[in-house]
Amino acid sequence: MTRSTDLIHHTYLPPAEFEAPQVGIFKASTVIFPNVAAMRTREWLDKSSYTYGLHGTPTTFTLEERLASLEGGTHCLLTPSGLASIAHVDLALLQAGDEVLIPDNAYSPNKALAEGELARFGIRHQFYDPMNPDDLAARLNERTRLVWLEAAGSVSMEFPDLVALVRLCKTRGVLCGLDNTWGAGLAFNAFDLTPGQGDAPLGVDLTIHALTKYPSGGGDVLMGSIVTRNDALAKTLKLSHMRLGTGVGANDVELLLRSLPSLPLRYRAQDLAARALAQWCTQQKEFVQVLHPALPGSPGHAHWQRLCVTPQEPQGLAAGIFSVVVDARFSTPAVDAFCDALTLFKIGYSWGGPMSLVVPYQLSAVRQLATPQLQAGRVVRLCIGLEDVQDLQHDLAQALLQLR
Ligand SMILES: *Cc1c(COP(=O)(O)O)cnc(C)c1O
């Protein structure tokens, strides 16, 4: 054998027995079959074997199984981003003539996708008021095929009566999918929303999770997951996954596998810090409202309490993210100057990483329905990282001088 061939077909195989805290990282587009018969007969759909990198490797299967457990599901698929997971669900489950219902406070690109590509494909949509189950009930109709849910909502952080919304979908026989990024599988179990109540468990049909946020925890990976407990639904989603080709790279999966064990610790630490800062913000006269579901008086606080405060978690759990409504007498340039004056809080999207982030929002630009639960004023979202809480509080205090 020539050297060049030998470099590719070298016969040395390391001993199979190897164990370390981290699982091995397998990279492959091509998967090698021992013979043609194996190629013809191997199962493509489940995790019993390997066929092609896009369809799964030991590395992606491992992350999928861990995420399914985290969220209380049984099947998981990985996609290249949280938004790709939303798009994947829409494309796999909807067809022309169907309608999808989306909460008005959903992650905005979910709404933009409905207004763009879905509309172009003849898939209709309506935005509903997540804080009013009667509004969802009134909009459900014979075309409705999928209802998206989000708890808490994006930016304005309202916590809906998830149990009531899911029960409504079940009663009407409509699939419901939860964007579970905020809860991260820790704050509540989306697949068992009424634990220990004796009735048949009430849960969503599927979740999507922007792994980009907490599971990554580093601000350096884009990835999403789709989790379900429903075998038939899992198969539909998997078949679409094979046709759409939205797989993920092993290097990114490696980063996720590395940071997943510290997820509960990071979530808890960021929750504690965010609550302390949110509490402090309630005492600043420039802020007319602090939007954090664990704060009494914040929209949907009682719903958060009912779902997230349990005997095991007497303080409840919440993501380390909240918004403040700045008094309407402050102009957009003044609020922008407040954000610019922050030094530890960096200006940027995303959350769940080590660095605190700030984004000012023009809520009226992304909301179609009335928001009587929100005070008038400009909204600033704060995502709390892993810095010292006192340092972050000082940063907010010095930037507030810009407004005073
Ligand atoms: C960030 C985010 C997404 C999208 O995740 P990407 O990986 O950035 O595409 C979806 N939903 C929510 C609630 C998010 O915060």
Asked if residue 148 has its Cβ within 6 Å of ligand 1, the reply is no
Asked if residue 83 has its Cβ within 6 Å of ligand 1, the reply is yes
Asked if residue 107 has its Cβ within 6 Å of ligand 1, the reply is yes
Which residues of the chain does CATH 3.40.640.10 include? 36-261
Closest residue by Cα to atom 11, ligand 1, is 107
Residue 264's contacts (CB-CB under 8 Å, 6 or more residues apart) are 186
Which residues of the chain does CATH 3.90.1150.10 include? 263-400
Give the pLDDT score at 404.
83
Query: Sorting pLDDT into bands at 50, 70 and 90, what band is 349?
Result: very high
Tens of pLDDT, residues 143-164: 999 999 999 999 999 999 999 9
pLDDT above 90: residue 261: yes
365-371, long-range: CB within 8 Å, 24+ apart, which pairs? 366/108, 366/111, 366/155, 367/104, 367/105, 368/104, 368/127, 369/104, 369/127, 369/128, 369/129, 371/156
pLDDT above 90: residue 198: no
Residue 386's contacts (CB-CB under 8 Å, 6 or more residues apart) are 266, 269, 270, 273, 354
Query: DSSP secondary-structure letter at 30?
Result: B
Is residue 379 within 8 Å of residue 156, measured between CB atoms? yes
Query: Sorting pLDDT into bands at 50, 70 and 90, what band is 194?
Result: confident
Q: Best mutation site among 78, 79, 83 for ligand 1, i.e. most ligand atoms within 8 A of its Cβ?
A: 83
Q: Best mutation site among 212, 351, 381 for ligand 1, i.e. most ligand atoms within 8 A of its Cβ?
A: 212
Between CA 160 and CA 165, with CA 162 as vertex, the angle to 5 degrees is 100
Tens of pLDDT, residues 7-35: 999 999 999 899 999 888 999 999 999 99
In CATH terms, the fold of domain 36-261 is: Aspartate Aminotransferase; domain 2 (3.40.640)
Instruction: List b or e across 124-154, with b for residues whose CB sees 16 or more CB atoms inside 10 angstroms.
Output: bbbbbbbbebebbeeebeeebbbbbbbbbbb
Instruction: Compute the mean pLDDT over every residue in the chain, rounded to the nearest whole number.
Output: 96
Is residue 380 within 8 Å of residue 323, measured between CB atoms? yes
pLDDT above 90: residue 230: yes
Match 């634990």 to its residue by tokens.
195
How far is ligand 1, taken at its centre, from the CA of residue 221, in Å?
12
Give the pLDDT score at 373.
92
Tens of pLDDT, residues 331-343: 999 999 999 999 9
Give the pLDDT score at 365.
82
244: left (phi over 0), alpha (psi -120 to 50) or beta: alpha
Is residue 326 within 8 Å of residue 287, measured between CB atoms? yes
Query: Sorting pLDDT into bands at 50, 70 and 90, what band is 277?
Result: very high
Burial class (CB in 10 A: 0-12, 13-18, 19+), 222: middle
Query: Sorting pLDDT into bands at 50, 70 and 90, what band is 200?
Result: confident
Asked if residue 214 has its Cβ within 6 Å of ligand 1, the reply is no
Nearest Cα to Cα of residue 157 among 124, 120, 182: 182
Query: Sorting pLDDT into bands at 50, 70 and 90, what band is 196?
Result: confident
Asked if residue 85 has its Cβ within 6 Å of ligand 1, the reply is no
In CATH terms, the fold of domain 263-400 is: Aspartate Aminotransferase, domain 1 (3.90.1150)
Tens of pLDDT, residues 101-149: 999 999 999 999 999 999 999 999 999 999 999 999 999 999 999 999 9
Residue 211's contacts (CB-CB under 8 Å, 6 or more residues apart) are 67, 78, 82, 221, 223, 224, 225, 256
Report d(CA 309, CA 101) in Å as an integer.
28
224-239 average pLDDT score: 98
Nearest Cα to Cα of residue 379 among 271, 291, 283: 291
pLDDT above 90: residue 169: yes
Give the pLDDT score at 330.
96
Atom of ligand 1 nearest to the CA of 350: 1
Asked if residue 183 has its Cβ within 6 Å of ligand 1, the reply is no
Asked if residue 81 has its Cβ within 6 Å of ligand 1, the reply is yes
Report d(CA 274, CA 321) in Å as an integer.
6
- Residue 101 main-chain phi, psi, to 5 deg: -110, 130
Query: Sorting pLDDT into bands at 50, 70 and 90, what band is 402?
Result: confident
Other Cβ atoms closer than 10 A to 74: 15
Asked if residue 286 has its Cβ within 6 Å of ligand 1, the reply is no
